[in-house]
Structure 1
């Protein structure tokens, strides 16, 4: 049996409102034995224990990324990364250098580009042809809702002038109707189907390596909206006792009938691997101008094909899918960016709740109802003010990614204009009674939670612009932002009875920082370093 551990001499940010900031914490058998002042904690611990002197440093609960594409992020770590590449010419050079290192028949894969930084229209297939040496290329935009491909990739996928746009997507075309190298939403699927799959062993190894990287930043739990390939890899690691991350894994929408036939319900699993929600896409993204809007985007070209964005499902199908899931005790996780998408999803959830009054709702309790997993909307990036209060009223989690706000300032101001006062509206949602659960949406954005925390408390880019913050009335305090990265996700996964805060009896998942968090200025939060990450009482990373 492992020895007790005592941590004292610093500030323990418990995120438990009955305790607040404590002086000491004791761990036994993977759980919190005692937390409070030094005398209380030392009285509870055995005579034989390991002591960690915090030396003025802070401790926080283990961080949860409540929205991360785990396998995708892990695999992309070995591909082209165009995040923050500020010029088109530089992007082409990065692609050229990467392609030259590949075998002649390999695919050139990457992600992260943002043409708004390049101050030009969409990139083209012919431009990509020039730097890929005859190899097929598929490079997703940072939001993953559009992809830049070359002519070799278009030929492999049999996409031509005569190809029709698929349901829920479109093929970019030039003035002559020829495919121009841009694929939007489901328009990407034909090319994706041509890309060879990595082996199961490669997937598992990539995930393990990536998890180790996340430990270095204090992440101990994830909510993962990916497909069966990711779940299979995670389950294989779990089966071997090699999964060092707590994971809530969601279900792809096309598998709903299989889940219902099996009697699968949200919440099945244990503290390491747990089945979550049914993942549904209701619209596209801001960056690709495919978010579904109540009124047209501002500043689009006169010939823009989708001035109101693209709903991924028609209203009847969305309502029917959400109702079928909820009626079978499978809660939903619905991607919604635009104000029209968010309203429609809230309408659908409300209708399903009325039809199924015993539906899954969030609970702040720690009894049996706490194990039930609530419905949630992912991103909720821009809302009509009339819909803000509905999240709390309907018990719908607002699962959001603070770093989207600071990355999207320029685009949001240009495409949403004054509607941006209700974009990434964390304070308004919280004040209306909604539960916030924060994540990264990696690989769309950086998975570093400390960058997200800084975005939540400043609403400024890393260069401290705009001065005073972008719609600063929506900022959160550091304590509130930490709550949304710890307690909020635990409520969202129905696990607040045993994780989320550093409370007696809960899992000993915690992070020792390199300094006193109370002394960190808001604009320095992203620089905070992790000294040690502990999961179930055991150190998984130490710097």
Structure 2
């Protein structure tokens, strides 16, 4: 048993005075005004000097393995104003000769029999962060071939719903002859799944570092919605010693039979994981995304009128969706339905109303005016990612013109009575709850005018939505808490984005300590 921890002289946002907090046996055992009790004899002491206590933060929508792999890939997010910008960047990387940060990422051993790997060939160039929604010229495989040559190039969009491959990469994945090299939705997911299929040793090492970084930002838990056998992955990681995060693992249709056979139920604690691993939701993707123009909408996308897919893509028809939700719910799994376009959200709400037992809608980016009230009435949580509004505001203004008053509409969702939980969708946006909260509170970034500021939510609501509904720490709660240098309720959005985090505790155990606090370690 470790010593208890006695945190002295901290403040709670929205409350006067300073407080001492006792962490013992994984719980918050006492919160008392500073100085009225003596230090418990077996406690280690950390004087906070007026810093702030915040509940431990969760990211409710993460693709963790992909997020962890980002450091080994080329970041194209700052060079995607046009196809020409991307082609110039690819040419520069290829001409440099070295593999760079995108070295391999396990691709050569992860083809699943699709194509042979040539050890003498240059490592594949893997990039991320493309946003082609506003490009004037279409993606052209021949143009990518011209700058990449024989080197495989896989460029993954910022929204993860499309990727652009050159001929060498297409051939490697058994897709030779594809006219443009632009793969959308399931075709893209198949390729990125193979790219992400690194060795257990390499993937776990990257995940361990990503977990440490997350803890340094006050994160105590994630809902991992990677398209993988997440339960097996995280059992292995925790058995190997990863203890920096609580993880709720998402289950996809491919693993639904396995989960039902194992009698897994949402919220179950997985044995032999120290309480860190629980069963999360059952995830179904019913449409695409805005940037890829596959979010399923009532209105056609400008420029695509009359073409196949002009309204986006509905990837699961309503009857099939209801059947999946009924089967999962009967087995004790809470459904989480990906819906971005307004028509997709309406159909998801239809299914939840027929289901009658609630669940989650992931993203809820564009919602019809009459549908906001349906969330609360059907017991559906809105699992939303505010930073997406900052990434996609210009794309939304173009493709959802005249409808953006109900896009990324956090205030409207909350006013309707819907429960909000916040996340990042990392690697689509950074796995950093302070970035998420800043977008929710400020609706702005990079000095731009706030976008639909009427859809801001209060800082207190943003904190609670990032902490599983807990606005403040409390006696008896798990000792998952964060110490920040600034008051999150009094900080402006820019201060929130860079919030200094001095300490993170998970079940009373420090997972992050700033240099001034390392004496506690």
What is the TM-score with the length of structure 1 in the denominator? Answer: 0.84
Query: In the alignment, does 2:496 pair up with 1:525?
Result: yes
Q: Which residue of 2 is the match for residue 121 of structure 1?
A: 137
Structure 1 segment 348-497 matched on structure 2, within 5 A: 348-353=351-356, 359=357, 375-460=359-444, 462-466=445-449, 469-488=450-469
What is the Cα deviation at residue 152 of structure 1? 1.3
**C-alpha separation between the residues in 2 aligned to 1:528 and 1:293?**
37
Whether the aligned pair in 2 keeps the contact of 1:153 and 1:191 (CA below 8 Å) is: no
Query: In the alignment, does 2:16 pair up with 1:35?
Result: no
Q: Which residue of 2 is the match for residue 506 of structure 1?
A: 477
Q: Which residue of 2 is the match for residue 73 of structure 1?
A: 67
What is the Cα deviation at residue 21 of structure 1? 8.3
Q: Which residue of 2 is the match for residue 155 of structure 1?
A: 171
SS at match of 1:180: coil
Q: Which residue of 1 is the match for residue 127 of structure 2?
A: 110
SS at match of 2:126: strand
Aligned length: 487
Q: Which residue of 1 is the match for residue 300 of structure 2?
A: 296
Q: Which residue of 1 is the match for residue 249 of structure 2?
A: 249
Structure 1 segment 293-332 matched on structure 2, within 5 A: 293-297=297-301, 299-302=302-305, 304-332=307-335
Whether the aligned pair in 2 keeps the contact of 1:464 and 1:523 (CA below 8 Å) is: no
Whether the aligned pair in 1 keeps the contact of 2:411 and 2:454 (CA below 8 Å) is: yes
Q: 1:296 to 1:5 in 2, by over 3 A?
A: same
What is the Cα deviation at residue 36 of structure 1? 4.1
Query: In the alignment, does 2:276 pair up with 1:272?
Result: yes
**C-alpha separation between the residues in 1 aligned to 2:332 and 2:194?**
36
After superposition, the C-alpha distances for 1:95-146 in whole angstroms (9 at most, x for unaligned) are: 34544223625322221111246x4333322222233341222211100111
**C-alpha separation between the residues in 2 aligned to 1:454 and 1:194?**
34
The answer for unaligned runs of 5 or more in structure 1 is: 162-177, 354-358, 362-374, 491-499
Whether the aligned pair in 1 keeps the contact of 2:133 and 2:292 (CA below 8 Å) is: no
What is the Cα deviation at residue 376 of structure 1? 0.5
After superposition, the C-alpha distances for 1:143-187 in whole angstroms (9 at most, x for unaligned) are: 0111111011222334356xxxxxxxxxxxxxxxx6112111113
SS at match of 1:418: coil
**C-alpha separation between the residues in 1 aligned to 2:506 and 2:194?**
40
Q: 1:380 to 1:194 in 2, by over 3 A?
A: closer
SS at match of 1:115: coil
What is the Cα deviation at residue 247 of structure 1? 0.3
Whether the aligned pair in 1 keeps the contact of 2:422 and 2:466 (CA below 8 Å) is: yes
Q: 1:193 to 1:268 in 2, by over 3 A?
A: closer
Query: In the alignment, does 2:206 pair up with 1:206?
Result: yes
**C-alpha separation between the residues in 2 aligned to 1:106 and 1:180?**
22
Q: Which residue of 2 is the match for residue 142 of structure 1?
A: 158
Q: Which residue of 2 is the match for residue 285 of structure 1?
A: 289
What is the Cα deviation at residue 22 of structure 1? 6.2
Whether the aligned pair in 2 keeps the contact of 1:379 and 1:399 (CA below 8 Å) is: yes
**C-alpha separation between the residues in 1 aligned to 2:221 and 2:30?**
22
SS at match of 1:531: strand
Q: Which residue of 1 is the match for residue 108 of structure 2?
A: none
Whether the aligned pair in 1 keeps the contact of 2:246 and 2:276 (CA below 8 Å) is: yes
SS at match of 2:434: helix
**C-alpha separation between the residues in 1 aligned to 2:266 and 2:487?**
38
**C-alpha separation between the residues in 1 aligned to 2:16 and 2:219?**
21
**C-alpha separation between the residues in 2 aligned to 1:196 and 1:403?**
24
Q: Which residue of 2 is the match for residue 234 of structure 1?
A: 234
Whether the aligned pair in 1 keeps the contact of 2:66 and 2:196 (CA below 8 Å) is: no
**C-alpha separation between the residues in 2 aligned to 1:65 and 1:453?**
11
Q: Which residue of 1 is the match for residue 87 of structure 2?
A: 92
What is the Cα deviation at residue 91 of structure 1? 3.2
SS at match of 1:351: helix
Query: In the alignment, does 2:317 pair up with 1:335?
Result: no
**C-alpha separation between the residues in 1 aligned to 2:318 and 2:131?**
31
Deviates more, 1:344-353 or 1:268-277: 268-277
After superposition, the C-alpha distances for 1:247-293 in whole angstroms (9 at most, x for unaligned) are: 00010112222322333222221531011111100100000110011
The answer for unaligned runs of 5 or more in structure 2 is: 100-119, 515-521
**C-alpha separation between the residues in 2 aligned to 1:206 and 1:476?**
34
Q: 1:454 to 1:325 in 2, by over 3 A?
A: same
